[in-house]
Every structure is written in C-alpha cells, then in structure tokens.
Structure 1
Amino acid sequence: MSDKIALSTWPTPLEPLPRLAAALGLGEDDLWIKRDDLIGLGGGGNKVRKLEWIVGAALADGADTLVTTGAAQSNHARLTAAAGARLGLDVVLVFPGTPDSATDGSGNLVLDSLFGARIFWAGDGVPSALAGVADDVCRRLCRDGARPYPIPFGGSSPLGARGYVDGGEELLAQLPDMDHVVVALGSGGTMAGLIGAVGERRVLGVHCGAVADPAATVADLAGALTGRSIGADSLRIRTDQVGAGYAVLHEPVLEAMQLAATTEGIVLDPVYTGRAMAGLIAAVRDGDIRSGRRTVFLHTGGLPGLFGHTAAVRRTVGALHSYSAG
C-alpha cells in the first residue's frame, strides 16, 4: 500500500502562452505553462508533489518532527514547514550562515516563521556539510524524546521523485502530443521524476547551480526511480544560465523574468524559474526548440524567493515605469 498523502488538489492547470510564444517567434499554440506554482499548500511550488510521498513515509514511520536542509531562501524548506503545520508535525530547518546573515527576514524566511518552523543556523561552513549537521540535529532531537525524520536537500530522493512521475503523467493526460517540457534543474528530483513519466528526450532541464554535477545527479535519481540504467550523456541539460553562481542574478534571467511578466503576467523567480525561462529562450534561439512543436514550461513556483533576493528586487524596482500626464 502506498504511503502517499494528499497535500493539495490535482491536476494543476495547463495554460497557453500565446503572447510569449509570439515574442519568441513560435506559433501561438506552441507554448504552454504547467501551473505548479498554483499548488495550494504553503504558497505553492513543485516540492509539494515530492512531500506527498516523503511526509507520507515519515508518518508511516511514526515521526513527529521533520528535519531538512537548504539555503535560507529555500522553497523546499518553506513547503516542508507548511506540510508540517498542515499535519501537526514539528519542523526544524537547517540553514547555512547565522541569524545575522538573514537580518531582513524577507522572502521565504517570513513564511518559515509564520508556519512555526524552528531554524538551526549551521554557521558559515560549506553547504555540502549541511547533511551532516542535519544528522547531528536529528540525534539531538532523539535524545530529547522526539522522533525526527530527515528529508534530503530539495526533497530529491527516488521516493520524492515519484511526485513528478505523478506530475508527468498528469501533464501527458492534459497534452498528449507534448514535444518538450522545460524545467529548472535544482536538486534534480523534479527532472528525474519527469523522465520517469515521459522519457529522457522530452525533458529539457536548465541547471541552476544548486548541485556540482547536475547530469550525474539526475541520472542517478532517474535510474533508481525507474530501475534502468540512464546515462548522464542521454539527458538534455543546459548549463548556460548559471552565470556567476546559484544565488547571483544573471542578466539573461532578469530579461526572461521581465519578458514573461510583460507578455503574460507570469511572475518567475531569479534562482529557479527565471533561469528555466532563460534556458527556454536560449533553446528557441539555437534551434533546440522550434515552431510547430508543443513545448510546456513547468512553473515550479518560488515567488516568495523573489522578495528575498536583494539584487533582483533592486533591479526590478529601479526599472519602474513612470507615466507623466500632459
């Protein structure tokens, strides 16, 4: 029997993007958006699909506390906190840095607090050490009588990736003749799950700089999920939108965010969905995505993260359009 639990209602909408398609030189019926940003829990986002499986397993294991890691503006951490609040579970989030490094308390941090999560600040060590810190936190919780359940970075495990097998099958039911689905590649589980549903050749992942080796990460997850060998060289991954690094605003990303907003009223974030859109635009320019092919952009959410990204906020506010009458 499956341990999956319901944290939202499905399916999420699939909508056309005719004005954006025209701006890119595509046919008006060529470009669509899968609105996983509209998932109901905790401000929305792709991590809810993963958490339905992961938190289901935690409850089946008798856990009373969820422990996970991420950057201070982690969408996954925010949605883990929301899932815990929904289900009456305590949540501890392990972040790099110190409280002083997040003094403005903006973006996702506001919601983490609102959902009642506790934050353990791990200091200024390398982010790769966070998993070990989280293990230490779990041991401390056990000593205090809690029953913690560790959730990996981004919720990306073979179990979590099953959420996007579900999502991919849902998408195929909505648009059976889809040729491409474009998705941000962060911790890898969303892309791996989509591959499990629609195959390697229809999924284009846009690397966001969250992992050192995105192809190997996705290939390992997809292989464990599907039970077959998947070569990293068989995956479609763009690495041209990382720029100076994961948290650093990349100029083509800001331009992609502005184009999506001004043509369709769609809001993207500067770390994940903005990079994915910039990758889609680049794929059209270099001919990987062409007119006459049905392309779906998977909107994985992340709106709160926009307000926690100082450079993106400053650049966007600095470009305010003024109207002078007379």
Structure 2
Amino acid sequence: MTRPLDLSRFARAALGTWPTPLEDCRRLSEALGGPRILVKRDDVNGLGVGGNKLRKLEFLLGAALAGGVDTVITFGGLQTNHGRQTAAACARLGLRCELVLTRAVPRTGEAYERSGNVALDLLYGAAVHICDDDASTEATYRRIVDEAAAAGRRTVTFPVGGSDGLGVLGYLAAAVELRDQLAGLAVDRIFCAAGSCGTVAGLALGVALLDWPVVVEAVAVSPPAADKPAQIRRLVDESAALLEVPRPALDHVRVTGRAVGPGYGVPTAETWAAIRLFARTEGITLDPVYTGKAGAALVDAVRGGETGAAETVVFLHTGGLPGLFGYGPELFDAVAP
C-alpha cells in the first residue's frame, strides 16, 4: 500500500467485520438483461444490524477514544441509520450516546415513530431526543452540551451521517478493500447512494488515489441534487488535507438526481419496484430511503441504455434494513399480491 493509502497513523476503533462480501448477482443481472452486477454487502458488516456508517465510525470513534471522550452526540432524522449505528458502537465501546433527532421526513404514525431504527436506538441504550424543527434541535443540542459540562463529562459531536474529513477515511479504506476483492476484474461503474455524501467522497478519493479507471455514480437521495458535487468536493478536500496529499480531480464522479423523487425519505413507485426486484432475484433487502433509490437509479440507467449490457457494475449496499419497518403499511402494500 502506498503512503497516501496507509491509514495506520489514524486512531481506529475495531467495530466491523472486514472485508464485507462481494456477491456476483447473476439473477439480478439476467432480470435486467445485463450488465454484470456485483453487490458489495456493507449491510452485513457485523454490528448494530450493519450499514455504511460503521466504517466512518471506526475513525471518528477511534479519535474520540484517543481524546478521552466519554459522551458522543450526533444528529439525524427520526429513522436515521447513522444514529442507530452510533448507538450500537457506543454500546460496544462503553460510551454514552446522545441522539438529537429531527422530524425531517413528512411521515407520522406508529410504524414510523416507534419501530425500526428508533426502537433500536433505545435498545442499544442511547438517550433519544426528538425535535420538531431546526430551532428545537439547536436548543436541545446546547442543553445536552451544557449538562455534560456541568457533570464533568467530555463530549464529542459527530455531524449528520458521520460525514466529515475524518469519517470519509472509512470509505477510502473501503475502496482499497473493494479493489483487492475484485482481483483484477475490470469494473466500469460503482453505484452508491448520496445523502450526506461521506461515503461517496471516500470512494471518490480512494478511486483517485488508486488511479483506478472506474466511474463513481453518486445517486442523490435528497434534494437538491445540484448541491451534491460541492458537498463531495468539500469532503474530499478535507480528507486529502488530513492525508497530506494534493486535492484530486473528481472527473470520475457523476451525480444523478434521477431517483430523488419528492424528497428525502419519500420513496417513489420506482423505489419500491427496485426493492422488490433485488429481493425477488437475490434475496437482498434494500431500504426505501437510500439503497432503494440507488437501486432505482441503477435499473433506470440500465433500461435506458446509459449503462450498457457489456459493462460490469458494483452496487454498494449501504444498509438501512431497520428503516424499512418504519414504512410498514406502505411496504405491505408494495409487496402484497
């Protein structure tokens, strides 16, 4: 491994089971009439029901532990995957976890508010603070920080999705892992959901530093898609600065808004169709917020001819299974005969 990809100088908490599987999904490929589709299973990485945030948390929590932190504060929507994985990781490491969750998705009801990730947050022992808007979120956060200081606790705050320059290193490591697993097999595209953009930024940086000729297809899951390139650029630059390497060109990254739909956390008919397709051809479970939309973008790109039948594609499965149950009634309608 070359010096820019040597991450040993960064503190890292051992949380996941690596490498995650890379599966050749032949029935899915056949159903779409090509291309060859490989699924990188970051949904099964060993802690807190799995998902992409765990790779980021290894670096974020490694630094926190090195700094003597005992309390972690982070943010997200009510059904945040990042919050659930942070809660599980804190339970593993013996840290206090404070989750400040905002009602960012226009959904209510028993399933959305009392199952899925919310229930798991509580199961893993997190303190869950539910806020109605940004002002309430800010006030709640300030109160938690003040109370922790008064109690003599040392806090660290992680951004939404764990997406900052340090967290991005998790998917730089994943790019190296994936390249090694492919063992010389040429890949044309990597499809990945883009929300807070830390995962895509890590892949983009890794691909650039590896000089790997592959396109990273960043599928926006929240509007506006036009803002995603700047988010990715900022995160890549932050990580490049940490690594002390030049900021790379990002010509290999393409952002698409083809699957955003009405908004974040609002699945479309195409989202549910992709969820059914992956499930009924490969037994792989997507979610309605992230991977379902990324899957819908992949299906659309193939059926529209943008991704050719002769290509080889990696679909990065970033997890999100628990959130599926937050959409219980809609899920049932989508899969019922």
Q: Same fold (TM over 0.5)?
A: yes
The Cα offsets for residues 94-124 of structure 1, whole Å up to 9 and x where unpaired, read as 01249xx6755110011101100001223x2
Aligned position for 2:239: 225
The whole-number CA distance in structure 2 between the counterparts of 1:220 and 1:78 is 26
Q: 1:287 aligns with which of 262, 282, 305?
A: 305
* CA drift at 1:211: 6.7
Aligned partners of 2:252 and 2:317: how far apart in 1?
24
Match of residue 117, structure 2, among 108, 111, 129: 108
Residues 183 and 297 in structure 1, CA contact (< 8 A), matched pair in contact too: yes
Higher deviation after alignment, 10-19 or 132-141: 132-141
Secondary structure of 2:192's counterpart equals: strand
Partner of residue 230, structure 2? 216
Distance in 1, matches of 2:236 and 2:223, equals 18
Instruction: Tell me what 1:69 maps to.
Output: 75
Distance 1:110 1:247, change over 3 A: same
8 A contact 2:215–2:253 mirrored in 1: no
Tell me the residue number matched to 2:270.
252
- Secondary structure at the aligned position of 1:120 is classed as strand
Q: Which has the higher contact order (CA 8 A, sep 6+)?
A: 2
Code of the aligned partner of 1:139? D
Match in the other structure for 1:324: none
Conservation of the 8 A alpha-carbon contact between 1:254 and 1:312 = no
Amino acid at match of 1:150: T
1:292 offset after TM fit, Å?
2.0
Aligned length: 314
Q: Note the 1:1-326 alignment, pairs <5 A.
A: 1-27=9-35, 30-97=36-103, 104-122=113-131, 124-126=132-134, 130=137, 133-175=140-182, 176=184, 177-199=186-208, 202-209=215-222, 213-227=227-241, 228-229=246-247, 235-310=253-328, 312-316=330-334, 319-321=335-337
Give the C-alpha shift of residue 60 in structure 1.
0.8
2:151, 2:240 → 1: CA distance?
Answer: 38
Q: What amino acid sits opposite 2:115 in the alignment?
A: S
Quote the Cα distance in structure 2 between the aligned partners of 1:202 and 1:233.
Answer: 9
Q: Which amino acid aligns with 2:238?
A: A
Change (3 A) 1:243 1:230: farther
Displacement, 1:238? 1.0
Instruction: Specify the code of the residue in structure 1 equivalent to 2:31.
Output: A
CA contact (8 A) 2:190 2:215 kept: yes
| Maintained 8 Å contact 2:219/2:294 | yes
What is the TM-score normalised by the length of structure 2? 0.87
Partners of 2:23 and 2:207 in 1: CA distance: 19
- Decide whether the 8 Å contact of 1:201 with 1:236 is kept in 2: no
Aligned partners of 1:102 and 1:95: how far apart in 2? Answer: 16
Tell me how far 1:141 sits from its aligned partner.
1.4
Distance 1:269 1:242 in 2: 14
